[in-house]
Structure 1
């Protein structure tokens, strides 16, 4: 069993290295706030092929002084996007950052978070500050 675990680790490391060699994918990122009059902000970033959205956000954060974000880790559900450009979600005000993928004018909510979602080449990701309604 120990040998199998070591082999699994080596295989995962090899796959990661192959993905890194295969290059990066460009993505478009938009930040919009439904609750304010702030103009839409658009950015470009990239992610290693097979990499997750968190990597693209970190790359953008390092490259653009006007893009900032924070995440919060939930032990059961993983990483949550907590704030973007200084605006944080608030439980009492029922606000949060919704993460969408836009294609041909159609917006779809991601079914996983930034720590799991793997963007596609030239994908348009939208970070939308909005409110939620309590479930009835």
Structure 2
């Protein structure tokens, strides 16, 4: 009897820890805009850890959703550089790259002055990975 009470207590503690971690997440939308005639935009529900970076949230999404993947390279001075999303790479010859935009709750779209390894998503905003040219 004592062992079943102990087991129940441990289970409750474990579940409360899981719920606390999930409840503390920062929910936001991640839109992938391909800007190509043969590919439609995709929108994903994502979560960042409180104070966590977009890179961390994208990694979490990459690990949990087979419809989303990305690659990046490390830049010693500027952090992670987004190279590809869902198999579509930026290309110097075509002058294409993945631009980071953010649509705030007011619907205003901004271009953050930091990249994916430094941007901290806010609740209920939409982060846009926009495939575009320069």
- CA distance 1:37–1:106, change in 2 (3 Å): farther
Structure 2 residue aligned with 1:78 = 79
1:1-136 aligned at under 5 Å gives the runs: 23-103=24-104, 104-132=106-134
Unmatched segments (≥5 aa) in structure 1? 1-19
User: SS of the residue aligned with 1:117?
Assistant: coil
Task: For 1:39 and 1:114, locate their aligned partners in 2 and report how far apart those are by CA, in whole Å.
Answer: 22
More off after superposition, 122-131 vs 99-108: 99-108
The structure with more radius of gyration: 2
Task: For 1:59 and 1:21, locate their aligned partners in 2 and report how far apart those are by CA, in whole Å.
Answer: 13
TM-score, length basis structure 1: 0.77
Number of residues of Structure 1 aligned to a counterpart in Structure 2:
113
Task: For 1:61 and 1:44, locate their aligned partners in 2 and report how far apart those are by CA, in whole Å.
Answer: 12
Task: For 2:37 and 2:111, locate their aligned partners in 1 and report how far apart those are by CA, in whole Å.
Answer: 21
Task: For 1:105 and 1:94, locate their aligned partners in 2 and report how far apart those are by CA, in whole Å.
Answer: 28
TM-score, length basis structure 2: 0.78
Structure 1 residue aligned with 2:16 = none
Structure 1 residue 22: deviation in Å?
Answer: 7.7
Unmatched segments (≥5 aa) in structure 2? 1-20
Structure 1 residue 122: deviation in Å?
Answer: 1.3
Q: Which runs of 4+ in 1 moved over 3 A?
A: none
